[in-house]
């Protein structure tokens, strides 16, 4: 089983810095934040889609836990663009005000009504969609 350092412990920050210079991210937090930073303005994704795209056996709940700490991450993580599988603003309570998540999404052109994205299927962004074409490349064999 793969283990991850505790990002809040002082010793893990030194270990994380060392690992970041390698080819592997330091923690699942880093993986989640890297994916979340790619979400285009005016689009949203889900905790589950990030978990699937992370490719390291994350659950949507673990992604939610990581997003809860996104406010302290550098560079900035657009946590307001991550919603639950039904397009509901389930993470809104972790923002400075209960309406901030909605306000940030509306500034980007996303329509929200009753704490739910009204055109969810239209604005959904799949972080794993880029992987599919590369994985399906056909190799031609010479006869």
Domain count, the chain: 1
pLDDT digits (tens, 9 = 90+) for 7-45: 444 443 334 334 444 565 468 899 999 999 999 999 999
The CATH code of the domain that includes 67 is 1.10.10.10
pTM of the model: 0.73
Handedness of CA 115, 116, 118, 121 (dihedral sign): positive
68: domain range? 25-121
In a domain, 17, yes or no: no
Task: Give 28-95 as a DSSP string.
Answer: HHHHHHHHHTTSPTT-BEEHHHHHHHH-S---HHHHHHHHHTGGG-SS---GGGEE-TTSB-TTGGGS
In a domain, 7, yes or no: no
In a domain, 90, yes or no: yes
pLDDT digits (tens, 9 = 90+) for 80-118: 999 999 999 999 999 999 999 999 999 999 999 999 999
Q: Are 112 and 98 in contact (CB under 8 A)?
A: no
């Amino acid at each position: 089983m793969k283990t991850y350092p505790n990002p809040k412990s002082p010793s893990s920050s030194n270990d994380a810095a060392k690992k970041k210079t390698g080819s592997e991210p330091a923690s699942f937090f880093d993986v989640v934040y890297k994916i979340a930073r790619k979400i285009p303005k005016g689009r949203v994704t889900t905790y589950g889609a990030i978990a699937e795209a992370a490719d390291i056996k994350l659950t949507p709940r673990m992604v939610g836990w990581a997003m809860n700490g996104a406010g302290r991450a550098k560079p900035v993580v657009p946590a307001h663009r991550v919603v639950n599988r039904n397009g509901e603003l389930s993470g809104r309570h972790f923002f400075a005000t209960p309406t901030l998540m909605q306000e940030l999404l509306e500034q980007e052109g996303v329509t929200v009504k009753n704490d739910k994205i009204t055109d969810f299927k239209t604005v959904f962004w799949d972080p794993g969609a880029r992987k599919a074409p590369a994985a399906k490349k056909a190799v031609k064999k010479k006869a």
